[in-house]
Amino acid sequence: MTRAADALALARGDVRDGVASIENFLQVLGSRRVGPRMLTRGIPEVLAGCEPLRGSLATLADALAVELAADPEGVEAVHSLLTHAADLVSQLAAALRGSAGASLDARERLALEATVRRVAGDLGTVLRLADLLGAAVTSETTTIDLGDALAQRRAHPRSGATAILAAVEVRVSELTVSDARLVLDLLELAVATVVRAGVASPRIVIELGPEGFPLFTIDAAAGKAKDGSGADGQVLDVVLRAELPREAEVIRAVARHAGMALTVAADRRAVTLAL
């Protein structure tokens, strides 16, 4: 690994640790076995981690700026997204300070839990995108079966994911990709984009593009897929949280960084991913 890659890996690890601390606190908040006194003792610890997490997000922004030096548009979008993430941490810190030293009643506890859940979920999305940007770019290719690959991912669904049944049309004899995990991540993000835009029954078409490489088109299906067990339909676990500021631009930067091209229609009801 190069020095820049080392710095990026360390920055991602520091942010991951900070986000994990918030997620763990969310589990504590949601457990009715944890009483007000124990909860009160945990708040200062999470609050103390907020400022270091903000610093780690700034360090991550610098590391990604180096990684994406050839993509000024991507650097700007990532900087904006991570600035938003730092603002989320500040909002969390303000909520924690307001609750520190007090015995929370049920209403106050639920309000704090809602804030922590929102911040943890959004930071999880930010971290996922940072991990995709930090993935090593490879020229090696492998042939995958889309149904098998999606089934393997469904065995370990993402927190907060929604099962989306999509009609699938595979128009290639073999699906050869350079990074299966990255392609499937981008496919899930593309499905989330069209579903958030109002597409109730998405369709995924896989064919060869003009240059002979796989081209994914995600749009609205003419009818609903029959089921998620055959070639006609596949189930994807998709996170349908509200889109974060500049998230779509960061996703396009992820694709560019991997040598792919992701295009979103103006009405956001269709996405293409050219490998």
With a pLDDT cut of 90, the percent of the chain lying above it is 70
Task: Tell whether 88 and 176 lie within a shared domain.
Answer: no
Give the whole-angstrom CA distance, residue 179 versus residue 128.
Answer: 16
Give the whole-angstrom CA distance, residue 239 versus residue 175.
Answer: 25
Could you read off the pLDDT of 24-80 as tens digits, one per residue?
A: 999 999 888 888 788 888 899 999 999 999 999 999 999 999 999 999 999 999 999
CATH number of the domain within which 128 lies: 1.20.120.230
More confident residue, 150 or 253: 253
Task: Tell whether 99 and 182 lie within a shared domain.
Answer: no
* Residue bearing tokens 């180096």: 66
Tell me the mean pLDDT in the region 88-117. Answer: 92
Give the end of a domain, one of 68, 102, 134: 134
146 closest CA partner among 114, 118, 171: 171
Task: Tell whether 170 and 111 lie within a shared domain.
Answer: no
Which residues, including other chains, have CB under 8 Å from residue 16's CB and lie 6 or more apart? 127
Give the whole-angstrom CA distance, residue 179 versus residue 182.
Answer: 5
Task: Tell whether 232 and 122 lie within a shared domain.
Answer: no
Exposed e or buried b for every residue in 78-114, given b needs 16+ CB within 10 A?
A: bbbbbebbbebbeebbebbeebeeeebeeeebeebbe
Task: Tell whether 178 and 251 lie within a shared domain.
Answer: yes
Is 202 in contact with 191 (CB distance < 8 Å)?
A: yes
Give the end of a domain, one of 108, 134, 160: 134
Give the end of a domain, one of 134, 150, 176: 134
Structure tokens at 7: 């710095």
pLDDT at 230 over 70: no
E strands, 55-122, in order: none
Task: Tell whether 92 and 179 lie within a shared domain.
Answer: no
Task: Tell whether 180 and 107 lie within a shared domain.
Answer: no
Which residues, including other chains, have CB under 8 Å from residue 267's CB and lie 6 or more apart? 197
- How many other β-carbons are positioned within 10 Å of the β-carbon of residue 128? 15
CATH number of the domain within which 151 lies: 3.30.565.10
Task: Tell whether 14 and 103 lie within a shared domain.
Answer: yes
List helix spans (H) across 135-221.
146-154, 180-196
Task: Tell whether 119 and 163 lie within a shared domain.
Answer: no
pLDDT at 104 over 90: no
Tell me the mean pLDDT in the region 80-103. Answer: 94
Could you read off the pLDDT of 236-261 as tens digits, one per residue?
A: 999 999 999 999 999 999 999 999 99
With a pLDDT cut of 70, the percent of the chain lying above it is 96
State the total domains in the chain: 2
Task: Tell whether 109 and 174 lie within a shared domain.
Answer: no
269 closest CA partner among 204, 209, 195: 195
Amino acid at 147: G
Local structure of residue 139 (DSSP, 8 states): -
CA 90 to chain centroid, in Å, comes to 21
Task: Tell whether 182 and 238 lie within a shared domain.
Answer: yes
Task: Tell whether 119 and 7 lie within a shared domain.
Answer: yes
243 closest CA partner among 231, 254, 251: 251
Tell me the mean pLDDT in the region 192-208. Answer: 96
* Averaged confidence pLDDT in the chain: 92
Q: Which domain holds residue 104?
A: 3-134
